[in-house]
Amino acid sequence: MLNGKNLIDGNWVGSPNTSISDDLDGFEFAQATLDQVDQACRASQKCFRKFSSISRKVRAEFLNQIADEIESLGEEITKTGVRETGLPEARLQGERGRTIGQLRMFAQLILNEDYLDVRIDQALPDRQPLPRPDIRLTHRPIGPVVVFGASNFPLAFSTAGGDTASALAAGCPVIVKGHGAHAGTAELVGQAIMAAVETCRMPKATFQLLQGAGRIVGTALVQHPEIKAVGFTGSAAGGRALYDLCHARQSPIPFYGELGSINPIFCLPNALLERSTQIGVDWAASLTMGAGQFCTNPGIMIGIKGKEFDNLQDAAVAELNDCASQKMLTKGIQSAYVAGVAHLRERLTELTQPRQTEKERYGIPAAFKTSARNWLSDKTLHHEVFGAAGIFIECDDESEMTELAERLDGQLTVTLQLTTSDSKLSRALLPILEEKAGRLLCNGFPTGVEVSSAMMHGGPYPASTDVRATSVGTLGITRWLRPVAYQGFPKELLHDELQATQNKII
């Protein structure tokens, strides 16, 4: 059952300020005060040393217990999520499975100490001209972490999502700033995590949940001196504002923000010759998945103008014209989508049939086309339209396609549609595109992010704020760790992973 309160240091606490959820029949959620933000941050720091010293085996059991608790609340979480977000039940069930899988993945990861990247330089007392001391390096938890829930993933990128799972696995207490679009879902997941805290006898402030406006609660959280790192998934404007706050602090802290991307697809000439129609159909399906509300939504399709690229566009547009309108996550997101489509309509040739819907919060797919020269000259076309809107960009030749690649901003993904006959052009493009994106795809579509060890979900700015970091996959744990070297220490004072010498000597 929802209580509408914030979770602070093991207690559900109300507030004089509340927010009403129309999706949940007027249910009221307490909005954290600045004093409560301060209490949560201080409690998080107070429990940090205890939680970070808990064995990796016990932390793994804790993560698995969270997964069990979410599983037991599964249908209640799904029902609430459907009401709040408008996402279909099957999508939320799948996302819940992904959330549980991430927790268990990090539990398994930390049972093996390889993720700590231990390095040992044994003493060389007889080395000339100077002896070398014994030096051993491991990675330690960075400190209390703040995680911002994402609007478009109420489970996998929010309360118990990848940022929270990886930070807890690393040994960092977490404060989640719940997203107002799904406050009820956030609270139910928070209840599941708190049940695991109690079952596993973790420190009470290991996990805390605060609801409230991002500009007030979020700003106070990232500026609090006890917070040591931040994870964020959201808009470029909101993420950049928080990034600037983190780096303007007296003691700057890392801000790991995933801010969005237009995820270009380059359709090479021989791929167009062989399967232009199928590529167009598949692109339309990828573009409209989840009403286009994915950070990996393929917003632009690039090809050399001609009959084959026309065929691709015709196939895609036919699919989009037949696609029903879809409910979007919030009124604000739907309004921004409508404004984004209107902006494109003023500047580009619209290919899809303009339609209207009387349904509140619903979005209608839209596709436009333009020349590469026009797209390159108008920077307003390079921004993400969060929803099912896409642009076909027609290049005059391979040289212009290469120029467009050179002038791309940072992206989460770039895709090449090619055949073996396109090897010369693909080899010319690949070194350029490697500089532009965190994940490169060949003959696929980017709206599916596998949760695995080899996944990279990040990219050069503005796709994310740290080109070295991923928010999906096991590598994500490195964001919440920092290297510490121990020189000349007796064995009994070293962490367990530093005491062994076999297979670790550099």
Decide if 258 is catalytic: yes
Residue-by-residue pLDDT tens, the chain, 506 positions: 899 999 999 999 999 999 999 999 999 999 999 999 999 999 999 999 999 999 999 999 999 999 999 999 999 999 999 999 999 999 999 999 999 999 999 999 999 999 999 999 999 999 999 999 999 999 999 999 999 999 999 999 999 999 999 999 999 999 999 999 999 999 999 999 999 999 999 999 999 999 998 789 999 999 999 999 999 999 999 999 999 999 999 999 999 999 989 999 999 999 999 999 999 999 999 999 999 999 999 999 999 999 999 999 999 999 999 999 999 999 999 999 999 999 999 999 999 999 988 788 999 999 999 999 999 999 999 999 999 999 999 999 999 999 999 999 999 999 999 999 999 999 999 999 999 999 999 999 999 899 999 999 999 999 999 999 999 999 999 999 999 999 999 999 999 999 976 556 65
For residue 110, report the phi and psi dihedrals to the nearest 5 degrees.
-80, -5
Parallel, antiparallel, or unpaired for β 411-417 and 362-363?
unpaired
Instruction: List the structure tokens of 14.
Output: 């109300």
Q: Which residues are CB-neighbours of 207 under 8 A, at least 6 positions away?
A: 7, 164, 168, 173, 174, 175, 176, 190, 193, 194, 197
Give the closest residue to 295 by CA, choosing from 338, 261, 345, 319: 261
Decide if 95 is catalytic: no
88: helix, coil or strand? coil
Parallel, antiparallel, or unpaired for β 349-350 and 366-371?
antiparallel
- Cα 426 to its chain centre, rounded Å, is 28
- Cα 269 to its chain centre, rounded Å, is 33
- Residues 158 and 179: their CA atoms lie apart, in Å, by 8
Looking up tokens 């076999």 gives 502
pLDDT of residue 356: 86
Residues in the chain: 506
pLDDT of residue 30: 97
Give the closest residue to 497 by CA, choosing from 481, 476, 474, 479: 481
From the candidates 69, 84, 95, 258, give the one annotated as an active-site residue.
258
- DSSP H stretches of helix in 249-325: 269-288, 307-322
Q: Which residues are CB-neighbours of 339 under 8 A, at least 6 positions away?
A: none
Is there a contact between 73 and 192 (Cβ–Cβ < 8 Å)? yes
372: helix, coil or strand? helix
From the candidates 295, 384, 394, 395, give the one annotated as an active-site residue.
295
- The alpha carbons of the chain give a radius of gyration, in whole angstroms, of 24
Instruction: List the structure tokens of 344.
Output: 């494109």
For residue 354, what is the DSSP state? P
Neighbour-count burial of 141, counting CB atoms closer than 10 A to its CB (0-12 exposed, 13-18 middle, 19+ buried): buried
pLDDT of residue 358: 77
- Residues 82 and 415: their CA atoms lie apart, in Å, by 32
Is there a contact between 276 and 311 (Cβ–Cβ < 8 Å)? yes
pLDDT of residue 357: 83
How much is the pTM? 0.96
6: helix, coil or strand? strand
